Amino acid sequence: MYRRTGFAAFVIACAFAASPATAQIQNAPERVERTAPEPDWLGVRICNRSNSDVQVAKALSPNLTDENGQVLYVSEGWWRINRGECRVMYPGPIRWRYYLFYAEEINGNGSWGGDTWICVSRAAFTIRETECPVGYNRRRFKVIDTGDVVERYTWNLLP
């Protein structure tokens, strides 16, 4: 999306503010501040609006249970998202209503989570279990409700 500085409106306003005898338009270079349009994307993304670089783990429960009826979660991690950046974590049209995320600052000072305990590892991981295997850790993931959204959903990590 482009943002206009309103240079023409500024010139017109200056012309009307001055008396006709003293109105002059100076030949100043036009200062246009533009931002490139955001690339087209579909899916669920996380934007890091915090003051630190973070690493993110994601999880979802694709409506599966084990033989005992326990909910199966699929968790994966870690993705680095530098401050000011966004990353599409689930590309394509949104298939599920609920997605789960956990994020922590790279320097270890803070985290973003919720109330759902999900299994993670210190190294890169993909875990498809109902319970956390020995040697792994559990973190409290935030449940994100995308509602009726089918194309784009953004969760912002705020300071």
For 112-128, the pLDDT digits (tens) are 999 999 999 999 999 98
Structural tokens at position 94: 């949104």
For 18-42, the pLDDT digits (tens) are 333 333 333 434 444 444 445 678 8
Residues 88 and 152: their CA atoms lie apart, in Å, by 10
**Torsion, Cα of 47, 53, 59, 60 (10° steps):** -10
pTM of the model: 0.71
Structural tokens at position 93: 């049209």
What residue ranges do the domains of the chain occupy?
Answer: 43-157
